[in-house]
Amino acid sequence: MDNDKYAVEMLNITKTFNNGAIVANDDLTLKVKKNHIHALVGENGAGKSTLMSILFGMYQPTSGEIKINGDPVIITDPIKANQYGIGMVHQHFKLVDVMKVWENIALGVEDTTMGMFTNAAKIKRKITKIMDQYGLYVDLNAKIEDISVGMQQRVEIIKILYRDADIIVFDEPTAVLTPKEIDNLLEIMENLKAKGKTIIFITHKLDEIKKVADEATVIRLGKNVKDFKVSELKGNELGEAMVGRKLVEVKNKNHDYSDKVVLNVINLTAKKESDKRINAVENLSLQVHEGEILAVAGVEGNGQKELIEAITGLTKPTTGAVVFNGINITNAPIKKRYEMGMSHIPEDRHKYGMIMDFNVLDNIVLQSVGDKPFARAGFSNKNEIDKYGRQIIKQYDVRGARNGMAVSSGLSGGNQQKFVVGREITRPHDLLVVVQPTRGLDIGAIEYIHSQILEEKNKNKAVLLVSYELGEVMSLADNIAVINDGKIVKVLPAATAKREEIGALMGGAGQED
C-alpha cells in the first residue's frame, strides 16, 4: 500500500529502559490508516502505553522510525506532537488537582486579552460548544480534586477535542466510564472518524473493539503478534491472541451462603462530598453474609461512592450504623477496621490504594508495615517484606515490578491494580469490599481476578462488590442490590436476574416517590 494511506507509521520501534535491562517495545511496527479507528490490544505491561508515549513525544525510541502522513518525523516532546496534529488522552490523568476544570482544559493554550489576561469567558464558550457537540458535560468551575474519576476522564477527552488534533490516541479511555458514558464515547469516536480524524484506541474491552474499530493490532511482551481486520474476527480469537492461550469463562454457579451476617448497614444516610446539603445515600440498608457475594449495581453517581466510604471509614455518615461482625464500627478509625478484618479495593487506586512515589513492596505492606512479621522492635524486617511482596507479585503477575523495587507510578495502570487487588485479597480478612476490581485490566487478568473473588466465596468470606460492569456483576454475584438516587431499589437473586430488569431498575423503575 502507498504511504499516503497511513496517518501513522511506527516502524521497527524498540524502546529499552535501565540500560537495556527492560525491553518495553521490541522491533514493533504499527501502521494506522488515515480516517480509521485502529485498536491497539495486549495484556497489561505488553508495551501499548509505552509505544503511544513514544508517538506523543514523552519517550524517545531506542531505535526505529516514525512517519506522520508519510513524512519521517522526530517527535521530541508533546508540544512537537501537537504540532504534528497528535493528541493523547492518557490512562493516568494529566490534570492539576487544585485547578478548575476549564483551567485544566485550556492549560498551555489559553486565549488571552491584550496578551496578558486569560479570557475565561471565551475559553468557556469554546468548551461549552464542544460539550454540546459531543454530549460530554462537566462542571467547568469545579476543581479537579472535587470531581469523580469518571468526570476527570471526561475532562481529558474534552482537553484533546479543545486542541483540534487530527490523530487522537485514547489510552484506556472507557476504563472509568459508566455503560451509558461508554456508548457515548464510542459514538464520539465514530463522529470524529466521520469528520476525518484518525484514532488509535487502546482498550482491553473486546466488545468495544468490535463496535467501532476498523483494524486491531495485538502485541504481547513488546512484540507484534498479529494484525486483524475487525469485521473478519471470529469467536474469541482476538482475546486468545492477547493472552496466548484459550480463555475460560469464570462464573458463579453455586449461590449457597451462610445465614451469618458479616456486614450490616442500617438506615445509613450520608452527604454528597461535593455538596453537603444533599444526601448521596438516604436511609439505606443492606446485609452481606458469610460466603455471599453481594453486588451493588447502578449508574455511577447514585451513592455508591459515599456508601463505600462510610463502610470503610473514609467518611462519617449523618445517621445510621455500620455493623461489622456484630460490632458497631460507624465511628471507628480506618486502621481499626483493617485490624478487625476488613479489606478494601478502592475505585480510585491512586488516591486511596497506594502512595505513587513508594515502590511496589512498600505499597504491598502499607497498612501493616509496623506489625509483625514486617517489623521487629521498631525496625523493618526487609526479608519478610521481600518474601511476602514477591509472592503477591508472582501470584498476580505484576509486570514491571522489578522484584518489588520499581516505583509504583512507573507501572502501567493494570499492573498497579493487580498488586492492590493482590494485597487486599492476601491479607487476613473476613470482609472484602471491592470497587471496580478489574478497571483497566486485560482479559486474562480479569479472568484471574474473577476466579480469586469467587475463591473468596469458597473460603466463606463476605464480599461486597461495587461494579459498573453489568456483565461482571451478573457473573460473580449471589445477590444484586440495585441502587438509584442513594436508595436500594430492589435486591435480586443473581441466578434468575435479567439484564433488562436490572437496567430498568438502575434507571429508577420501581423507585418509590
Contacts of 87 (CB under 8 A, 6+ apart): 81, 160, 163, 165, 167, 168, 169
| CA 296 vs CA 340, 463, 486: distances in Å | 23, 11, 11
Q: Which DSSP category does 367 fall into? A: G
Q: Determine the 3-state secondary structure of 76 from DSSP.
A: coil
SS3 labels along 33-47: ECCCEEEEECCCCCC
Q: Which ranges of the chain have pLDDT less than 70?
A: 1-4, 115, 175-180, 274, 510-513
> Tell me, what's the pLDDT at 60?
95
> Tell me, what's the pLDDT at 510?
61
Taking the CA atoms of 316, 440, 500 and 294 in sequence, report the sign of the dihedral they define: negative
Cell 499516503 -> residue: 4
Q: Which of 127, 116, 168, 176 is nearest to 149 (CA)?
A: 176
d(CA 422, CA 440): 15
> Tell me, what's the pLDDT at 1?
45
- Alpha-helix residue ranges (DSSP H) falling in 219-357: 237-243, 304-312, 334-340
Domain borders along the chain are: 3-243, 248-341+428-513, 350-427
pTM for this predicted structure: 0.72
Question: What proportions of the chain, in percent to the nearest 5, are helix, strand and coil?
Answer: 35, 25, 35
Quick count: other Cβ atoms within 10 Å of Cβ 336?
14
**CA angle, 161 then 167 then 169, to 5°:** 80
Burial class (CB in 10 A: 0-12, 13-18, 19+), 67: middle
Report the DSSP pairing between strands 293-297 and 223-229: unpaired
d(CA 157, CA 95): 12
Same fold: 3-243 with 248-341+428-513: yes
d(CA 511, CA 285): 15
> Tell me, what's the pLDDT at 178?
63
SS3 labels along 170-206: EECCCCCCCHHHHHHHHHHHHHHHHCCCEEEEECCCH
**Contact call for residues 482 and 286 (beta carbons, < 8 A):** no
Query: Following CA atoms 203, 94, 276, 333 in sequence, which dihedral angle do they give, to the nearest 10 degrees?
Result: 80
Cell of 440: 483497566
d(CA 12, CA 56): 17
> Tell me, what's the pLDDT at 176?
63
The amino acid present at 105, given as its one-letter code, is I
How far is residue 467 CA from its own chain's centroid? 11
Cell of 265: 448497614
**Contact call for residues 128 and 106 (beta carbons, < 8 A):** no
Q: Determine the 3-state secondary structure of 105 from DSSP.
A: helix
Q: Determine the 3-state secondary structure of 272 from DSSP.
A: coil
**Contact call for residues 47 and 27 (beta carbons, < 8 A):** no
d(CA 40, CA 398): 21
Q: Which of 193, 203, 239 is nearest to 33 (CA)?
A: 193
- Architecture of the domain defined by 248-341+428-513: 3-Layer(aba) Sandwich (3.40)
Taking the CA atoms of 93, 121, 118 and 142 in sequence, report the sign of the dihedral they define: negative
**Contact call for residues 287 and 293 (beta carbons, < 8 A):** no
d(CA 154, CA 162): 12
Question: Reading across the β-sheet that carries 462-466, which strands appear in turn?
Answer: 342-345, 431-435, 462-466, 293-297, 479-484, 487-493
Cell of 211: 463496535
Fold of 3-243: Rossmann fold (3.40.50)
How far is residue 267 CA from its own chain's centroid? 31
Q: Which of 115, 91, 94 is nearest to 105 (CA)?
A: 94
Q: For 467-497, write each residue's pLDDT tens digit.
A: 988 889 999 999 999 999 999 999 999 999 9
d(CA 220, CA 54): 17
**Contact call for residues 438 and 465 (beta carbons, < 8 A):** no
Cell 456508548 -> residue: 183
d(CA 230, CA 234): 9
Q: Which DSSP category does 143 fall into? A: B
